[in-house]
Structure 1
């Protein structure tokens, strides 16, 4: 037990190293706060504090940092994000032109094709068939959802956006 107290600084250095390595892999600031708490435990050991005090100081500093500093750091990290929509979110609300007619009803024969404003061609079906019959080529539609590789569309004049 005497050796543990004498070389407790080695334990704190090992914990700091492990926490920093995990933090580099996760980048969520949890293990960074634990590493900083371990630094506080190391400083308590350097000033000759007993091992129970070292653990207590490390735990208190870690908890304080987790609840006081970490949320602010996460907000600051996310603040600089790119606000541009991508993937499916970027396609929702996009206007498209019908290339192959879309037939009202269910089934693979009722799927048509649309060319989106961004130039992509997608298989398309109507959102809720309501007796529209056929949406002819050249008609403007709006993408309301993406289901797999099929764009779910409504005629542009029905869209309220």
Structure 2
């Protein structure tokens, strides 16, 4: 019985540690989930300061955290992403891009010049297919430093535009 009394007496320390841990994780993830959990922990700490029993503190902290996650977090996320640039970048921007064969592209390899001017090691998506130099292609996917390509109906001049 003394152990439980000791835990209840010093529960505020546990709440502060839990809040600090959640805030550090939130700083690393920037997803607002752990921020809501830390605010729930703050509610548990406040209920401890008002003399609530330990089980009540945990229930209050859990209810506040869940409510915040489902009610406050979604609008915060929308507001955070509201001004984002919708333009694709990096590898995602290469998918669907036109390319021109520089050296014969087969299922095993070859070189293609993408519309953005980059030269990539390329492979045909379909096995047994080969594309000769000057053929217009389209990037289907990127795997590491290899562009997987397929035939494109555009002319080579359009693929460089």
Q: Same fold (TM over 0.5)?
A: yes
- Bigger drift between 15-24 and 48-57 goes to 48-57
Match status 1:37 vs 2:43:
no
The alignment partner of 1:156 has SS state of coil
Deviation at 1:130, TM superposition (A): 9.2
**How far apart in 2 are the matches of 1:134 and 1:17?**
59
TM-score by length of 1: 0.71
Residues matched between the structures, number: 151
Contact 2:139 2:147 in 1 (8 A): no
| Cα distance, 1:9–1:152 mapped onto 2, change above 3 Å | same
| Cα distance, 1:156–1:76 mapped onto 2, change above 3 Å | same
1:74-113 mapped onto 2 (5 Å cutoff): 74-102=77-105, 108=108, 111-113=109-111
Match status 1:123 vs 2:126:
no
Q: Which runs of 5+ in 2 are unaligned?
A: 156-161
Aligned to 2:158: none
Aligned to 1:144: 140
Q: Which runs of 5+ in 1 are unaligned?
A: none
Deviation at 1:89, TM superposition (A): 2.3
CA RMSD of aligned residues (A): 3.0
Larger radius of gyration: 1
